[in-house]
Structure 1
Amino acid sequence: MKKLKRYQYERYAVLCKVTYQTDFDPQSLGFSSDNYAEIANRWGHICARVLWRDDHPEVLVVFRGSQTVHEWLINIHCLPKVKRFVDCRYHVHTGYDYLLEQPSNPCAPDYQSGVSIYQQLNAIVSPLILFGKRVSLTGHSSGGAMAILAADRLERQYTKSIKRVVTFGQPATGFGSFKRQYLLHRRTYRICCGVDVVTFLPPLPGTFHHVGRMLWLHNERIYENISPFKRFVLSFASWLLSPFASHYMHKYIRDKDFFDDL
C-alpha cells in the first residue's frame, strides 16, 4: 500500500473545506471552468464537485458533508440496505446510500429529472475514465461515506479506474459484508483527527465496519489502523472536554504537518 504524502493530504483536505462554500471558484484552485462540474441534491444544494485538467491524468471528486437538519436526520437512518451487483451482494448504511441515490436537482440546463446523484456522477466521469484518466474521491463526514460508496461502484464498473479514496471524519459506511466485498482497501485512506466523535458512529460496535487504512492524528503522532477500543481509551479524557472540536475541516488542515513523517 502506498503512503499518503503531505501534499496529497493537504490538497484533499483543502478541497473538502472549500466545497462547503457557496462561492466555490474552481479557477482559484487552478482548474478551468470548462473542466468543472457540480452535482446538486434534490433540494438544489451542491453536494459534489468534479474537477480535472486536460494535461493531468487525475479526476478529483469531492463530496461535502451534511449541513441541513434533514441531512443529519438521514444520517440517523442506519438500518441495512442491500446492494446487489453482478459479482457480489452486500449491506450498507441506508442513510448514506440514500444521500448518493437521491434524485439530483432537476433544474435545467445542468440537471436531468429522474437521474440520481450517482448516475449524474457516472455520466460525468465515464468519458474521462474511457479517455484514460483515473478518479480520486474525497469527502468530509457523511461526504466521506458517499465517496466510499461511489468509489466501490465505479471500480466495479471500470476496473482500476480509482486512483485513491481519502476521507476525513468519516462515519462507518457498511456492515461486515461490505467490508469483505470492498474493492479498494489498499487505495483508501480514512483520516481521523484527535477525538472526532463522528468517526465512532454509528454507535453500534460490531455491526458497522470501516474500510481501508485508518490514519489517526492524535497528540502529535500518527497511529495507523489502531483498534477503535484502544483509540477510544486513549482519547477518552479529551473526548469528555470537547467531543466535536476535532470534527471540523480546519482542524484536519492544521494537522497536515503530521505527513512530513510518512
Structure 2
Amino acid sequence: MTFPATLSVKDDHKLPPSSISGDLYGDLVYYFKYATSAYSPVCPRPNGNSLVIEISNPLTDIQGFIARDKTRKEIVVALRGSASVADVLMDASIVLVPFVSPGVQLPPESRVHSGFLVAWDSISPEVLLAVGSQLATNEDHAVVTTGHSLGGSLALLAAVSLQQNFKNAQIRTYSYGAPRSGNKIFSDYVNAKFGDNACRVVHGNDGVPTAIPIELGYHHHGVEYWQHTSPPSNETTLKCDPEGEDPNGSASIPSQGVNLAHATYFGILVGTPFCL
C-alpha cells in the first residue's frame, strides 16, 4: 500500500522531508525489535543481549524490561504499548498536567499527558534505581529508551526523567506509533535537550500519532521519521522537520485511530519477540 506524501513547502524555513541513510534505517529497525519484544511476557535475551531486570506494575499494568548491550555499550529501557483495559484507561486520561516525577524539573509551563505520567511514575523508581546501578558499573554505556504506541510515549517520559537524574549520561529515545505526549513547551524542551537523539517513527497512515489533536494543546516533538510507502526501506523513510509538527509528514493524513498500519513496523508485526 502506498501513502502519498505531501511535499509542498508551506513555510519558508521548512524543507521537504528527505530519505534517510541505510545506517540510520538499520538503527530504527534495531530499536524497534526491543520495543516489540516488550510485549512478550518473558524475554530472556532481548535482541540477543543480557536481561538486567523485568519491569512490571500490577496496578497500572505497565511492563517492559531493561537490557544491557555490551557490544554497543548501551543500557536499554524498553516499555510495552497498550495491551489491557488498564492501559486503555491510561491512554484516555488526556488532561495536560505538570511533569511531576522524581528528580524532574522542567520549564514552569511544560505539560504532559496525565495518563502517561501516572503510568511512568508507577515504574519510575524501579527504572531509575536499575539504570543508576548499571551506570555505576558501566560508566562508558549510553542509555536508550524505546517503545511502541503507549510504550513510545512512556519511553519519551523515561528519557526526560533519566536525562534529569543522570546528567552525565548519553541518552537517546526511540518511539514507534506514539501519540502526542505533551504541549509545545514540553516538545520544545525535548527538542532542545535531545535533538536528533529523540527519534519518533511513524508507519504510513498509522492514526495513533495524530489521534490526540493539537487543538487540545498537544504538540509532537521531533524528529519524525515517516516510513510513508511500502515496502519499508531507508529510501521510503523520510526525515521530517525537527520542530515536530511537519505538515509534510504523517500529519498530512487525517487520523484514522488504531488501524493496520499501527500494528506493523518495518514489516514486523507488533508483538513479535526478539528474545533469544
The TM-score normalised by the length of structure 2 is: 0.74
Structure 1 equivalent of residue 26 of structure 2: 7
Q: Is the 8 A contact 1:81 1:92 kept in 2?
A: yes
Distance 1:214 1:49, change over 3 A: same
3-state SS of the aligned residue for 1:180?
helix
Distance 1:161 1:212, change over 3 A: farther
Alpha-carbon distance in structure 2 between the residues aligned to 1:174 and 1:87: 12
**How many residues end up aligned between the 2 structures?**
232
Mapping 1:133-148, distance limit 5 Å: 133-148=141-156
Mapping 1:149-168, distance limit 5 Å: 149-168=157-176
Mapping 1:71-86, distance limit 5 Å: 71-83=87-99, 85-86=104-105
The residue type paired with residue 267 of structure 2 is R
3-state SS of the aligned residue for 1:5?
helix
Deviates more, 1:15-24 or 1:61-70: 15-24
3-state SS of the aligned residue for 1:247?
helix
Distance 1:124 1:233, change over 3 A: closer
Distance 1:48 1:194, change over 3 A: same
Distance apart, 1:119 and its partner CA: 0.8
2:188 matched to 1:176? no
Alpha-carbon distance in structure 2 between the residues aligned to 1:69 and 1:44: 10
Structure 2 equivalent of residue 185 of structure 1: 195
Distance apart, 1:188 and its partner CA: 0.7
Alpha-carbon distance in structure 2 between the residues aligned to 1:210 and 1:71: 21
Alpha-carbon distance in structure 2 between the residues aligned to 1:87 and 1:207: 17
Alpha-carbon distance in structure 1 between the residues aligned to 2:151 and 2:186: 18
Structure 2 equivalent of residue 225 of structure 1: 240
Distance apart, 1:134 and its partner CA: 1.3
Structure 1 equivalent of residue 126 of structure 2: 120
Q: Is the 8 A contact 2:82 2:88 kept in 1?
A: yes
Distance 1:7 1:205, change over 3 A: same
1:209 pairs with 205, 215, 219, which one? 219
Distance 1:86 1:247, change over 3 A: closer
Structure 1 equivalent of residue 66 of structure 2: 50
2:116 matched to 1:96? yes
Deviates more, 1:73-82 or 1:127-136: 127-136
Distance apart, 1:86 and its partner CA: 4.5
Distance 1:197 1:44, change over 3 A: closer
Q: Is the 8 A contact 2:60 2:87 kept in 1?
A: no
Distance apart, 1:59 and its partner CA: 0.6
Distance apart, 1:223 and its partner CA: 2.7
Instruction: Show structure 2 runs of 5+ residues with no match.
Output: 1-19, 231-235, 269-276
The residue type paired with residue 78 of structure 1 is I
Distance apart, 1:24 and its partner CA: 2.2
Deviates more, 1:48-57 or 1:137-146: 48-57
The TM-score normalised by the length of structure 1 is: 0.78
- Please provide the CA RMSD for this pair: 2.7
Distance apart, 1:224 and its partner CA: 2.3
Q: Which structure shows the bigger proportion of residues in helix conformation?
A: 1
Render the CA deviation track for 1:94-128: whole Å, top value 9, x for unaligned: 011011112xxxxxxxxxxxxxx011000000122
2:37 matched to 1:31? no
Distance 1:233 1:75, change over 3 A: closer
Structure 1 equivalent of residue 9 of structure 2: none
> Relative contact order, CA 8 A, sep 6+: which one is greater?
2
